[in-house]
């Protein structure tokens, strides 16, 4: 075996190693984002529960709270604190801490599924399908527009869905996740 052949073998081995390393990084990055998203959603739910015990609408409680929490990042805006309150009103702790709800990106959960669904059962159906199929926010919006939940009640799906990483990619795009990680000062 000459030196050129050895270099080719080393180069092929290197490229294979590089591919394996990149795949390991991608898989573990996805796992990390799911863990962070889960902790963030449970935290936001618990904050919403605390808010719901004390707030009275019109008292400026949420505005004051948002101002006092500003040192922890933009995840505690007035609008987001109101969303936390709504999530705590809508879901039980068991539903929030379940694997499905805690793996849905916060923005998809609060600005799409909760605002566009007509019932709690519909929300849970979209949460389940988003998790099962790895739907992005845009895909969830499209499914809601096409009345996928209503259609599922009439004709259950017989086509297996292909799971994608769109949901995890949404978590990477969701600024709340990054703010949540970076909030400790």
Cα 129 to the center of its chain, rounded Å: 13
Residue 103: the pLDDT is 82
Query: Using N-to-C axis directions, what is the helix angle for 3-54 and 78-90, rounded to 10°?
Result: 80
pLDDT in tens, 60-90: 899 999 999 999 988 999 999 999 999 999 9
Question: Lowest-confidence range among 3-7, 30-34, 41-45, 51-55?
Answer: 3-7
Cβ atoms 84, 44 nearer than 8 A? yes
Q: Percentage of residues in the chain with pLDDT exceeding 90? A: 52
What's the pLDDT band for 180 if we cut at 50, 70, 90?
A: low
Q: Which of 37, 42, 81 is nearest to 181 (CA)?
A: 37
Cβ atoms 105, 79 nearer than 8 A? no
Residue 156: the pLDDT is 62
* C-beta neighbour count of 104 within 10 angstroms: 26
Cβ atoms 51, 84 nearer than 8 A? yes
Q: How far is Cα 81 from Cα 67, in angstroms, rounded to an integer?
A: 11
Residue 165: the pLDDT is 55
pLDDT in tens, 147-165: 999 999 887 654 444 455 5
Query: Is the pLDDT reported for residue 185 higher than 50?
Result: no
pLDDT in tens, 109-133: 999 999 999 999 999 999 999 989 9
Residue with tokens 């500003």, as numbered in its chain: 70
Structure tokens that stand for 168 in this block: 């995890």
What's the pLDDT band for 41 if we cut at 50, 70, 90?
A: very high
Cα separation values, 107 from 11, 79, 115, 128, 147, Å: 44, 12, 11, 16, 20
Residue 142 C-beta-side C-alpha neighbours within 13 Å: 6
Query: pTM of the predicted model, to two decimals?
Result: 0.74
Q: Which of 134, 135, 124 is nearest to 101 (CA)?
A: 124
Residue 77: the pLDDT is 94
């Amino acid at each position: 075996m000459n030196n050129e052949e050895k270099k080719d073998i080393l180069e092929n081995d290197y490229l294979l190693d590089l591919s394996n390393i990149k795949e390991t990084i991608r898989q573990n990055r996805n796992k990390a984002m799911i863990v962070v998203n889960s902790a963030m959603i449970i935290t936001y739910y618990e904050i919403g529960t605390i808010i719901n015990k004390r707030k009275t609408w019109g008292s400026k409680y949420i505005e004051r709270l948002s101002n006092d929490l500003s040192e922890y990042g933009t995840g505690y805006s007035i609008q987001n604190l109101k969303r936390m309150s709504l999530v705590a009103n809508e879901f039980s702790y068991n539903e929030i801490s379940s694997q499905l709800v805690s793996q849905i990106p916060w923005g998809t959960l609060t600005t799409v599924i909760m605002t566009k669904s007509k019932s709690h059962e519909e929300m849970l159906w979209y949460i389940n399908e988003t998790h099962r199929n790895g739907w992005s926010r845009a895909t969830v919006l499209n499914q809601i527009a096409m009345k996928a939940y209503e259609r599922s009640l009439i004709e259950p799906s017989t086509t297996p869905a292909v799971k994608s990483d769109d949901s995890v990619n949404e978590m990477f795009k969701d600024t709340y996740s990054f703010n949540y990680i970076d909030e400790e000062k």
